[in-house]
Amino acid sequence: MGLPRFTRPKGGDGESSPNLYVANCGPAVGLSFDNIMSVFGTYGEVRGVYAADESGTRVIVSYHEDSSAQAALRELDGRPCSDLGGRSLHIRYSAQSLGKVKVNDAVPVSTSDSDLKIPGVYLVHDFVTAKEEEELLAAVDCWPWQHLAKRRVQHYGYEFRYDIRNVNTKQYLGDLPSFVSPVLDRIKMFQKFDSSTDVCLDQLTVNEYPPGVGLSPHIDTHSAFEGSIFSLSLAGPCIMEFRQYSKGVWLSRHTSSCDTEEQICDNSSNFLRRAIYLPPRSMLLLSGEGRYAWHHYIPHHKVDKVNDSEIRRGSRRVSLTLRKVRKALWRVDTGNLSSKSIRSSLVAELRSISLIMEKSYCDDG
């Protein structure tokens, strides 16, 4: 069975329904699904928040009750919403159709980093053995999980706060657990790809994804994390998509109207897409351009199409993401990056900072 599919409104206000089609809202404009869920949750119990399409700028908010959708539409449509980065949302009712989501959206999926051709992205297959995988899974399962809307997480070293997309460097949780030591030792091998790769990592996030759950497109906040990002896949496979958004999508809300952004987003050529297959036990390194200039994204699929095969996600996928928390003042790691890469990276970062500032303003006020 696929994920539910919702129809785009045909025009007019549409029939009342518990499902809302919300435009100018989504990960590509700096709003995470958790953030959207929490704002819409003010008007009633939300069943789920789904990407309406591949743009990253339109979502479906699905409530249990029609009355919640009516209240949210009345209060949020066409007005700047301070809890959603001041964006003006465009909201219509949407209906759930009988169709199912396609298995894949026709982006060719590479099975190796050389085929993916994004500088700074490296994939090492069989980074751990099947026995080590089993031991790592048993070890993480001995620790308590934190429940997010769609997946479970654990944080070590420092907690990553999804509401402000940052870590509190003053709250050190302690050394990374011993179960991850063999992985940290082996990570040193990546220095052979790039001798400047920093392998002194002090933050671990464990993600557990049930089937059909992925991760919104994002660039890991670089005021929070310096250097490279490592991610070990365990238990189940998935594909990771990389997106490089074109200029229009990132126009600041102060310099562009929402309509302009919508127009640009309607054109499916507004971002480049590449994808790579991540089998269990593989280690992915995101550095340089792959780290800063491309959003990475795990599509919400139960089945991934990889070349001519359809590969079902396992009953769970667990990833161990290792990073280094930035303690000193943030400075832009420009390294060998092109000016285009620096620009998209900075814009993503400024989006994060503006969300953080708005959040602390609301908390203070």
Ligand X SMILES: O=C(O)CCC(=O)C(=O)O
Least Cβ distance, residue 319 to ligand X (angstroms): 3
| In contact, 210 and 147? CB cutoff 8 Å | no
Q: Which of the residues 211 through 250 are near ligand X (CB under 6 A)?
A: 215, 220, 231, 233
Least Cβ distance, residue 215 to ligand X (angstroms): 6
**Nearest-CA neighbor of 278 among 118, 109, 153?**
109
**Phi then psi dihedrals of residue 47, to 5 deg:** -75, -40
Q: Is 55 in the site for ligand X (CB under 6 A)?
A: no
Cβ neighbours of residue 97 closer than 8 Å, sequence gap 6 or more = 5, 6, 7
Q: N- to C-terminal Cα distance for the chain? A: 46
- 68 vs 207, which CB is nearer to ligand X? 207
- 274 vs 296, which CB is nearer to ligand X? 296
Tell me, by CB under 6 A, how many residues bind ligand X: 9
| In contact, 289 and 120? CB cutoff 8 Å | yes
Q: Which of the residues 123 through 182 are near ligand X (CB under 6 A)?
A: none
d(CA 341, CA 40): 34
- 18 vs 56, which CB is nearer to ligand X? 56
- 34 vs 262, which CB is nearer to ligand X? 34
Least Cβ distance, residue 121 to ligand X (angstroms): 12
- 104 vs 233, which CB is nearer to ligand X? 233
Cβ neighbours of residue 32 closer than 8 Å, sequence gap 6 or more = 162, 165, 216, 218
Angle at 364 between CA 363 and CA 365, to 5 degrees: 95
Window 275-314: contact mask with ligand X (x via CB under 6 A)? ---------------------x------------------
**Nearest-CA neighbor of 205 among 75, 78, 90, 321?**
321
Q: Which helix (H) or strand (E) holds 92?
A: strand 90-94
**Nearest-CA neighbor of 83 among 160, 164, 19?**
164
DSSP annotation of 89 reads: P
Tokens representing residue 234 in the block: 């365990």
d(CA 365, CA 360): 8
Which single residue is written with the structure tokens 């396992």? 314
- 35 vs 319, which CB is nearer to ligand X? 319
| In contact, 291 and 185? CB cutoff 8 Å | no
- 76 vs 356, which CB is nearer to ligand X? 356
Least Cβ distance, residue 218 to ligand X (angstroms): 6
Alpha-helical segments (H) within 170-306: 181-187, 258-266, 288-292
Least Cβ distance, residue 136 to ligand X (angstroms): 14
Least Cβ distance, residue 220 to ligand X (angstroms): 5
Near ligand X by CB under 6 A: residue from 19, 55, 205, 344: 205
Tokens representing residue 317 in the block: 């996928």
Near ligand X by CB under 6 A: residue from 207, 216, 345, 352: 207
Least Cβ distance, residue 88 to ligand X (angstroms): 28
Near ligand X by CB under 6 A: residue from 62, 203, 216, 321: 321
Residue number with the smallest Cβ distance to ligand X: 319
Near ligand X by CB under 6 A: residue from 19, 270, 319, 341: 319
- 54 vs 220, which CB is nearer to ligand X? 220
Least Cβ distance, residue 222 to ligand X (angstroms): 12
Least Cβ distance, residue 101 to ligand X (angstroms): 20
- 253 vs 323, which CB is nearer to ligand X? 323
Contacting residues toward ligand X, per CB under 6 A: 205, 207, 215, 220, 231, 233, 296, 319, 321
